[in-house]
Every structure is written in structure tokens, then in C-alpha cells.
Amino acid sequence: DTAVSQTPKYLVTQMGNDKSIKCEQNLGHDTMYWYKQDSKKFLKIMFSYNNKELIINETVPNRFSPKSPDKAHLNLHINSLELGDSAVYFCASSYTGAKNIQYFGAGTRLSVL
Amino acid sequence: AQTVTQSQPEMSVQEAETVTLSCTYDTSESDYYLFWYKQPPSRQMILVIRQEAYKQQNATENRFSVNFQKAAKSFSLKISDSQLGDAAMYFCAYRSHNNNDMRFGAGTRLTVKP
């Protein structure tokens, strides 16, 4: 069973569209995250959610909005997509606490044309 | 803010040999955690090894070990008996004790030559 799963794996869309990426974890973790990996492979955190509360938001445009219907899911919605949004987006989860390991999904490659 | 620096964009090693990947970080904190993650061509991020800053003993996981120098703020990864499957991007990461924020370095691409 996949611990952290993201869908879709690949997403190709036009500028200006709205899209969503889904993430689910079956590890019983209480914190979930979204990371963005740019074309130079630099990985940067976007959001994290703990018990449905946003606890990190790293200067991400408000076109990006995380939505967590329950503790096992954290979806990423992106409005009015721009060329610069093209990247690989990773979902991750962990138990609360810095010592705890974050487990990552396989990533979603978003291409904005 | 804490920063993580990986000064080697690319490294290569002969199969069965040993290679060391460098990582330095900048922090004013005394309690934190350090990680090495591996990202093979499949894109999956896989934890390789973890080190708690309060532990003096270097972490080891089979062929992987770290050289943690707290005073120098250095956290290098040593891969012994390199295998073809070790070829990947390796990311060093820092995590503060009191929050969930994890900072990654820019990565080192490791090539393993047969």
C-alpha cells in the first residue's frame, strides 16, 4: 500500500486555468505538507497543515490554496495558473514534532503552457 | 532563517568505492535535526539517514553514515561500497526543534560508474 499518494502524476494545462492536485496519506500522521521543486531541483516548502490549521505559508501567492477535508488529505488548489507555476509538487506527511520523519509522495509534474 | 548549503552540484564515484557528499548549514539554534534524502530518477523522495543535534554519535544506516560536526555546522554523508542504485540526487535538510519547517539544500547529483 502506498503511504503517501498524489494524483495526478502529470498535469498539463493552459495558462489561466484552475487545477487541483490531491494528496492522501494512510500513515495516521497528523501533519501534511506541500513542497514545490523548481526546474533547478530546489525544494521549498509551501504549506503545512496540522489538525486542519495552516501553520506554515512561505510567501506563496494566494492563487495557491491548500484544503484539508480531513486529517488524511491535503489537496492543493491553484487558480489562474501562470507559466512560472510549472514545477514538480510534492506532498508529504509526518507526526507533529521536528524529530519525526517526513514521508513524501511521488510528486506531480505540473506543466503550464 | 536557517540556510543549508550543498557546495557540490555533481559528484561521481566508481562502483564499490566510497564517496562523501558535503553539507553545511547556518543556524543560531542548539537543538535541531538533520536529514539526508535521496531522489532517484523516479522522483520519489526517500529518507536516507537522520541525525539529532544533541547526539554526539554519528548516525549510520548500513552503507550510509554521516560525519556530524556541530561546531563547524557540517553534516556530510558517506556512502560506502557504492552501488549503481545509489545514483540519484541527494538533498541535505535542516529542521528546527520547535517547528515543522524543513529547509533543503540545493542537492548533489551523484553518478555511479560501473
pLDDT tens digits, B69-111: 999 999 999 999 999 999 999 999 999 887 777 899 999 999 9
Q: Give me the pLDDT at residue A98, please.
A: 78
User: Which of B32, B102, B110 is the best mutation test for A, with the most CBs of A within 10 A?
Assistant: B102
- Dist. CA A10–CA A22, nearest whole Å: 12
Neighbours of B16 (CB within 10 A): 11
Tell me, what's the pLDDT at A1?
Answer: 62
A109 alpha carbon, distance to own chain's centre:
11
**B66 Cα to chain A: minimum distance (Å):** 17
Q: What is the pLDDT of residue A57?
A: 74
Q: What is the mean pLDDT of residues B60-67?
A: 96
Which chain B residue's Cα is nearest to A55?
B100
Selecting from B43, B89, B96 the residue whose C-beta is nearest the C-beta of A106 gives: B43
- Find all residues with CB under 8 Å of B28, minimum gap 6, and list them: none
**Cβ of residue A90 closer than 8 Å to a chain B Cβ:** yes
Summarize pLDDT for A31-40 with one digit per residue, the tens: 999 999 998 8
Any chain A CB within 8 A of the CB of B75? no
CA-nearest of A10, A28, A17 to A70 is: A28
Instruction: For residue B81, give how far its alpha carbon lies from the nearest alpha carbon of chain A (Å).
Output: 26
Judge whether B45 is closer than 8 Å to chain A, CB to CB. Answer: yes
pLDDT of B59 reads: 94
Q: Say which residues have a Cβ less than 8 Å from residue A79's Cβ, sequence separation at least 6.
A: A18, A63, A64, A65
CA of B91, closest CA in chain A: separation in Å? 9
Task: Give yes or no for B104 touching A (CB within 8 A).
Answer: yes
Chain B residue whose CA is closest to A49: B100
Q: What is the pLDDT of residues A40-84, one digit of tens each?
A: 888 999 988 887 678 777 788 889 999 988 889 999 999 999 999
